[in-house]
Amino acid sequence: MNIVVAIKHVPSLADELELNDEGVNLDYDMVDFVLSEWDEQAIEQAALIKEASGGAVTVVGVDVIEELDNVLHTALAKGADKAAKIVADFEPPVESRDQAQLLAEAIREMSPDLVLTGVQAIDDLNGQIGPMLAALLDMPYVGVVVNVEVSGDTAVITKEYAGGITAEYEVTLPAVIGIQAASQPPRYAPVSKIRQMAKTAEIEEIEAEEEEFEPAPINKMAKPVAAGHAEMIEGEPEEVAAKILGIIREKGLL
């Protein structure tokens, strides 16, 4: 079973996101990039399928800002066997349609039996890569999947709908599957193992053809304005209680 997982590096939500001087994009020098959480789920599901059916897992992504290596090392530490990155002289952002095209060209050469990807990415939440990949590779696509079981050239998948309703589908392979959640939580990769991968793992570089990508123009980006704030009440219990009572009366709630 030749499994390929398409992954993406995204800004860490643990960081304070800063805009560049032009106010039209993030300041990439001030942001740490991590593996998208839904891609972590896809890697876990791929590892589970490999353990059940044999084969190998390859992770591949577009190295838009030359920050993909650490993400690939993390993926290898979590169970992937091989890693590849698509490189070129990119000018970020590279939109979903262009990333899907680049990924499809690389994945096609890998002759996969199954392609997994996170159902969406935390930085855009548009869920476009999976369906676009499927269209470009001429494969069926099912998204919002929470379990995959492979038997021969067929996959039995569990798709989740609104309200927690699930349904099972049989899909003929090869296919592209958008993973919402793996059938078990992603395995933990200790920092020592990630560092080991950084020292020993080989990452294949796939040179993309030089193309002029034309992203939709961004006129302005801005941080959201805080609409309010919490008032911290300090003091002895009696003082705090009196202040709370005063606030309640002031608002006409008592």
Confidence tier at 219 by pLDDT (50, 70, 90) = confident
Maximal C-alpha separation, the chain: 72
Q: Could you tell me if residue 190 is inside a domain?
A: yes
pTM comes to 0.85
Position 154 pLDDT exceeds 80: yes
Q: Could you tell me if residue 234 is inside a domain?
A: no
Alpha helices in the chain (DSSP H): 37-53, 69-77, 96-110, 129-137, 191-200, 237-250
Tell me what the pLDDT averaged over the chain comes to.
Answer: 92
Confidence tier at 28 by pLDDT (50, 70, 90) = confident
Q: Could you tell me if residue 251 is inside a domain?
A: no
Q: Could you tell me if residue 11 is inside a domain?
A: yes
The percentage of the chain sitting over the pLDDT mark of 70, rounded to a whole number, equals 99
Q: In whole angstroms, what is the distance from residue 176 CA to residue 132 CA?
A: 10
The whole domain housing 152 covers 2-207
Beta bridge partners of 142: 177
- For 123, the 3-state DSSP assignment is coil
pLDDT reported for residue 210: 67
The vertex-65 CA angle with 60 and 69, nearest 5°, equals 45
54 versus 222: the higher-pLDDT residue is 54
Beta bridge partners of 85: 61, 205
Q: Could you tell me if residue 83 is inside a domain?
A: yes
CATH of the domain at 186: 3.40.50.620
Query: Where is average pLDDT lowest: 41-45, 130-134, 222-226?
Result: 222-226
Position 212 pLDDT exceeds 70: no
Nearest Cα residue to 177 out of 49, 81, 52, 82: 49
Tens-place pLDDT, residues 79-109: 999 999 999 888 778 889 999 999 999 999 9
Tens-place pLDDT, residues 102-149: 999 999 999 999 999 999 998 888 899 999 999 999 999 999 999 999
Q: How many domains does one find in the chain? A: 1
Q: Could you tell me if residue 239 is inside a domain?
A: no
Q: Could you tell me if residue 42 is inside a domain?
A: yes
- The number of helices, as runs of H, and strands, as runs of E, in the chain is 6, 11
Greatest mean pLDDT among 41-50, 207-216, 226-235, 237-246 lies in 41-50
Q: Could you tell me if residue 244 is inside a domain?
A: no
